[in-house]
Amino acid sequence: MADWSPQTWRDFPAAQQPDWPDEAALAGALDELRAVPPLVFAGEARSLTEALGDAVDGRAFVLQAGDCAESFDAFSANDIRDKLKVILQMAVVLTYGSGVPTVKIGRIAGQFAKPRSSPTEARDGVVLPSFRGDMVNDFAFDATARRPDPTRLVRAYHQSASTLNLLRAFAKGGFADLSRVHAWNLEFLDASIEGRRYEALATEIDRALRFMAACGIDLDAEHQLHQVDFYTSHEALILGYEEALTRLDSLTDQWYDCSAHLLWIGERTHQLDGAHVEFHSGIENPVGVKLGPSTTPEEVLALCERLNPGRRPGRLTLVSRMGAECVTDRLPPLLRAARDHDHPVLWICDPMHGNTFHHESGFKTRDFDDVMRELRGFFVACDDAGVWPGGVHVELTGDDVTECLGGSAGVAGDDLEQRYESECDPRLNARQSLDLAFQTAELLRR
């Protein structure tokens, strides 16, 4: 790492960066960001690495979840609270089912930038820059809105800070106390199959807690019962932003990207000779890489060597997002390559991004059956390779949206227009999310 610094990515080709029209304004925004306080601390990132290390060899399971893209408009305490509720519910279901701790990581407090398949978007003959996330430009289809605006980088930082502030309060301030396990059930879930199934499980947990208390265990003294560790993550796409928030840890003299605990490299930016791999190779945070169906075993090995040459468990998470059709063929050679070269990779499955399609109504959607099919394929592939299926990575919301098809609520094609609120990819609603957690818990039990 002798030659690495937070700026060295600038010597490599950087895919998916906006064309900032005003260089001076960009420099001003980045100067401002270089001076702001860090969002997370190096010690917290190290704790996450340790927790992920446990998940490499089957002593934990990871739940990474949240929006495809956070938005400046849909920003409220209720929205954050409801997302956290669903994640806590899913974590309880997974922990109860698997018997191992669930490492909880949000796609939140920084998930504001999106890679796009095309740099421009055309509508009725008008061509404008594509929407790249609220950190860069505005979703509305007009020339001013789509102009990349660096003041948005600063606004994204401030929104991340207030989101994280609330998350920390929820995680440590009583809201996440296991005695409130019933209270996490969202009202509109009450009457649903998943809601009732969750209630039954929450009642069993209550009973277990009372049993332990009756045995003389002082539950008040067990702090794990009263608070949770909740970590943040996002795709570290806009490298100027990430560079500005990268700080030298005074304890270890190492560089940490203090914009989130875990940063990941997307499927479109993991070129071995590219700027994103260069940047992530030098930060000490735990890092992830999304891998699509065209990934080769050689690439996996090269990524492992580049991003985790010291073979530290928990440092590198590979996120398989093959699609339900491809997972059975494409994943096993990758699992075997890392395994045979003794790379301690944490393998988790993103069953969303390989299963996106355009419905005839025009909406971008995903079918819950495809999502579950990919997850099952992932579990089988891991099992065959003797590798622990380390976690799931999903896009969800605590709301009752209609963005993904299927699930027991039976969201149909005609329903998509009712509550389609995502500005980017379609998310699982709260019922579909709980359903996924129950089914994943069953896969883990087997």
CB 288 within 8 Å of CB 281: no
Distance CA 17, CA 275 (A): 10
* Binding partner of residue 427 among Co ion, ligand PEP, none, CB cut-off 5 to 8 Å per kind: none
Stretch that binds ligand PEP, among 37-45, 262-270, 306-314, 373-381 (CB under 6 A): 262-270
Q: Which is nearer to Co ion, 389 or 426 (CB)?
A: 426
Shortest Cβ distance from residue 311 to Co ion (Å)? 30
- Long-range pairs, 325-332, Cβ under 8 A, ≥24: 326/293, 326/354, 327/354, 327/374, 327/377, 327/378, 327/381, 328/377, 328/380, 328/381, 330/293, 330/295, 331/377, 331/378, 331/381, 332/381, 332/384, 332/385
Count of residues in contact with ligand PEP, rule CB under 6 A: 10
Stretch that binds ligand PEP, among 74-82, 142-150, 217-225, 263-271 (CB under 6 A): 263-271
- From the list 38, 88, 54, the residue with the least C-alpha distance to 437 is 88
> What binding mask, one character per residue, do residues 299-328 give for ligand PEP by CB under 6 A, x or -?
----------------------x-------
* Interaction between residue 83 and ligand PEP (CB under 6 A): no
Beta strands in 228-382 (DSSP E): 230-235, 246-248, 255-257, 262-265, 287-291, 316-320, 346-349, 356-358, 364-366
Count of residues in contact with Co ion, rule CB under 5 A: 2
Q: Which is nearer to Co ion, 314 or 391 (CB)?
A: 391
Distance CA 363, CA 386 (A): 39
Shortest Cβ distance from residue 68 to ligand PEP (Å)? 5
Residue type, 17: Q
* Binding partner of residue 290 among ligand PEP, Co ion, none, CB cut-off 5 to 8 Å per kind: ligand PEP
Stretch that binds ligand PEP, among 85-93, 196-204, 261-269, 275-283 (CB under 6 A): 261-269
Distance CA 225, CA 213 (A): 12
Tokens of 103: 């490492």
Helices 23-35 and 151-172 meet at what angle, rounded to 10?
A: 30
Residues 6+ apart with CB under 8 A from 284: 42, 45, 46, 249, 252, 254, 255, 256
Q: Which is nearer to Co ion, 68 or 202 (CB)?
A: 68
Shortest Cβ distance from residue 237 to ligand PEP (Å)? 9
How far is CA 113 from each of CA 4, 167, 178, 270, 333, rounded to the nearest angstrom? 24, 20, 34, 16, 31
Binding to Co ion, residues 14-73 (CB under 5 A): 68
Shortest Cβ distance from residue 319 to ligand PEP (Å)? 7
Tell which one of 243, 267, 367, 425 touches Co ion (CB under 5 A). Answer: 425
Distance CA 328, CA 351 (A): 13
Tokens of 188: 């509109």
Binding to Co ion, residues 62-91 (CB under 5 A): 68
Binding to ligand PEP, residues 395-434 (CB under 6 A): 425
Distance CA 415, CA 432 (A): 15
Tell which one of 42, 51, 60, 68 touches ligand PEP (CB under 6 A). Answer: 68
Diameter over CA atoms, the chain = 73
Tell which one of 28, 115, 333, 344 touches ligand PEP (CB under 6 A). Answer: 115
Shortest Cβ distance from residue 424 to ligand PEP (Å)? 7
* Binding partner of residue 266 among ligand PEP, Co ion, none, CB cut-off 5 to 8 Å per kind: ligand PEP
- From the list 260, 206, 255, 210, the residue with the least C-alpha distance to 232 is 260
Tell which one of 106, 148, 266, 323 touches ligand PEP (CB under 6 A). Answer: 266
Length of the chain: 446
Tell which one of 83, 132, 290, 373 touches ligand PEP (CB under 6 A). Answer: 290
The binding site for ligand PEP (CB under 6 A) comprises 68, 115, 235, 266-268, 290, 321, 353, 425
The binding site for Co ion (CB under 5 A) comprises 68, 425
